[in-house]
Amino acid sequence: MSDDEVKPGEVASQIEGDQPQEEPEWWQDPSMPWKHKPGKADIACMAWIGVIGVYGIVMMVVRAWLLGLDTPLLVAISGSRAAIAGLGAMVKIHDYSSWLWIFPMLAGLVMSIKFDWVYWWAGKLWGRGMIEVWAGQSKRAAKNYARAERWAIRWGPLGIFLAYIPIPLPIMAVVFVLAGASGMSWKRFMLLDAASSILWQMAYFGLGFWLGQPVADVLKWYAQISIYVAIGLMVVIVLGYIFKPKPKPEEEVAQG
Q: Dump the DSSP string for 54-75.
A: HHHHHHHHHHHHHTTT-HHHHH
Please indicate, yes or no, if residue 159 is contained in any of the structural domains.
Answer: yes
Give the number of other CB atoms < 10 A from CB of residue 124. 21
CB 72 within 8 A of CB 104: yes
Please indicate, yes or no, if residue 111 is contained in any of the structural domains.
Answer: yes
Please indicate, yes or no, if residue 255 is contained in any of the structural domains.
Answer: no
Question: CA–CA separation, 119 vs 196, rounded Å?
Answer: 16
CB 105 within 8 A of CB 205: yes
The distance from CA 60 to its chain's CA centroid, rounded to whole angstroms, is: 13
Crossing angle of helices 40-66 and 81-92, in 10° steps, is 40
Domain assignment of residue 137, given as a range:
39-237
Residues 216-253 pLDDT 10s: 888 778 877 777 888 887 887 777 767 766 555 444 33
Query: What percent of the chain stands above pLDDT 90?
Result: 36
Q: How many domains does the chain have?
A: 1
φ, ψ (nearest 5 deg) of residue 153: -65, -35
Q: Which of 129, 113, 176, 175 is nearest to 148 (CA)?
A: 175
pLDDT value for 221: 83
Residues 105-115 pLDDT 10s: 999 999 999 99
Please indicate, yes or no, if residue 99 is contained in any of the structural domains.
Answer: yes
Please indicate, yes or no, if residue 31 is contained in any of the structural domains.
Answer: no
pLDDT value for 55: 93
Please indicate, yes or no, if residue 186 is contained in any of the structural domains.
Answer: yes
Q: pLDDT band at 19, cuts 50/70/90? A: low
103: amino acid identity, one letter: F
Please indicate, yes or no, if residue 170 is contained in any of the structural domains.
Answer: yes
Please indicate, yes or no, if residue 30 is contained in any of the structural domains.
Answer: no
Q: How does the average pLDDT of the chain come out, rounded?
A: 83
pLDDT value for 251: 40
Task: Read off the pTM.
Answer: 0.80
